[in-house]
A and B are shown apart, each in its own frame.
Chain A
Amino acid sequence: MSDIAAMQRALALLLLDPVGRRTFLYGGPLPSEAGLDDEDDIHALRNTLARQREGVEFFATLLDRKRDARVMRLFPATALLAPREFHAHWQQWSRGTDEAVSSSAGADALRFGAWLLHALAGEDERIEGAIRFDRARLLAQGSAIPQPRTFEGDPARARVYLRKGTVMERLEWDYAAMLRAGLPLEVRRPATYIFQADRVVRLGTGAANLLTLAALKPVDLNTFGPTREVLDAVEALRSRGIIELQEAGA
């Protein structure tokens, strides 16, 4: 591999999509906090971390300034994205129906990177300073066009909304990212994390299932054949103000 290719690979490792490797971290909880108690997941996470660190080290070597502030500026993932910013950028990544799923995964990659670099920052004050300095640049990748994937849902008809403050905003693609996290049509983990405003909301499996499905296609509770679990999840979400169900055709 040429040195250019090696550099590009290192950059790719920094930007890599951990979702594609069956790890999923929303907001960067540590594995134990995320409920990643499955050995496979832990292994995948460690691999991802190792690969990301490989990228960090490569660039550090390239510039001969290990963990220098300039190194940190390379990474769009140095963003310490607040949920609102994250959502804004997620929207920018979304280019309609087909591409939206992977665009959300891209956001995940940045979020993961943010967690990684935040962790590194704890080891070196200079890095922490660099991250603060570059906070505005953390809105990186806004124009990126995600790789296309077939998506059969119709976002215009999705009817699950996430309440953010007093504003209802659709966040269905966030949940689609979960699907890409190796969770086909069901959430394997006992719990998953979903951002709500400035905090993380822990949802049960049923609720997560519903939201994941809603990310894929319109969830019509009349035809969905809801199980007790789903109905309970719907009520739990509704009562907590996380979702709003709308009439068909609304």
Chain B
Amino acid sequence: MIRPATLGVGLGFRPELRDEMLRRAPSLDFVEIIAEMAFNEAYAEVIDGLRALVPITLHGVHLSLGSAEPLDAAYVARLQQAVRRFEPRWCGDHLAMTSIGGIEMPHLTPLALRSDLVPVVAAKARAVRAEIGVPFLIENIAYYFEVPGGDMTEAEFFSAVLEQSDCGMLLDLNNLHVNAINHGYDPYAYIGSLPLDRLVEVHIAGSAAEKALMIDTHGHPVGDEVWSLLAHVAARTHVPAVLLERDQNIPSMDELLAEVTHARAVIGAEVSP
């Protein structure tokens, strides 16, 4: 796999930030668009406005890469169409399932970490990559319950899918942080077992404790633990792109840009002009 060119540090587009992001996009290195928004003509104008200012990437939530069934051809066709239309640097989606056998789930549902599922998922990812013609990234999800029947660790499963699919890695460090707490494993050991030469993008976000559970809220500033994980990753491999995600309790653009600037410092990226 050839890693894409470095993008720097970007921010996820959210409708609430529309005007501010259009105004201050030059302060970002890139903007990530939820892929399904790019399917919707209502967002075409703002996406065009953003990509006139900075590179964009697409990040989907409903490919259902992990379902043990064929890809949704209609979905892939729409993704392909969006890629042609908006020319993102790359696309990504989650190592999860959101539909199976015609049943839709409005959740990123975890997979059984079974070795015999790896080739199924990898084949689907390869097919998507071939169809869309730009790099395709696979992201680790946050999960709150384990599906039984697995014979691999989460890191082993993630790594195997990446290797067999020859796709890029989208490492969500907040998901990792949350999972490590909730499932009791060492996030640094997890990172150490990943094929970091496949790392293309890192997601950072905030989380919050809810009683005994850590929740991936995307509603708080990036926590110290996640910054530490980012520094740890950056010390071990080149980090082509970092994306800040914020979906609720959205602060001022100044606050978000401060986090973007901090991320640049952590990974040693140049400041965007």
Contact = CB atoms under 8 A, between A and B. Distances in A.
A139 B218 CA distance: 15
B215 interface: yes
Interface residues of A, number: 53
11 contacts: A4-B120, A5-B69, A11-B100, A17-B105, A95-B218, A96-B14, A96-B16, A137-B145, A142-B210, A143-B142, A147-B106
A12 B111 CA distance: 11
A114 to B, nearest CB: 14
B165 interface: no
B80 interface: no
B147 interface: yes
Interface in B3-21: 14-16
A150 B178 CA distance: 30
Contacts of B57: none
A47 interface: no
Interface string A41-52: 000000000000
B37 A139 contact: no
Interface in A9-32: 9, 11-13, 15-17, 20
Contact of A11 (B40, B61, B147, B175): B147
Nearest to B14: A96
A91 B247 CA distance: 10
Interface in A121-146: 136-137, 139-146
A96 B37 CA distance: 12
B211 to A, nearest CB: 5
Contacts of B15: 96-98
Nearest to A85: B210
Nearest to A150: B40
B101 A140 contact: no
Contacts of B16: 96-97, 156
Interface of A: 1-2, 4-5, 7-9, 11-13, 15-17, 20, 59, 62-63, 70, 73-76, 85, 88-89, 91-99, 102-103, 105-106, 109, 136-137, 139-148, 150, 156
A105 B106 contact: yes
A134 to B, nearest CB: 9
Interface residues of B, number: 56
Contacts of B227: none
Pick the 10 closest A-B CB pairs, nearest first. A143-B216, A136-B212, A144-B107, A148-B36, A106-B106, A142-B215, A143-B142, A5-B68, A140-B144, A4-B68
Interface in B96-128: 97-101, 103-109, 111-112, 114, 116-117, 120
B104 A147 contact: yes
Contacts of B235: none
Given A5-B69, A8-B67, A92-B216, 17 more contacts: A4-B117, A5-B68, A9-B101, A16-B103, A59-B148, A76-B145, A94-B247, A106-B106, A109-B105, A136-B213, A137-B145, A139-B213, A139-B215, A142-B213, A143-B144, A144-B108, A148-B36
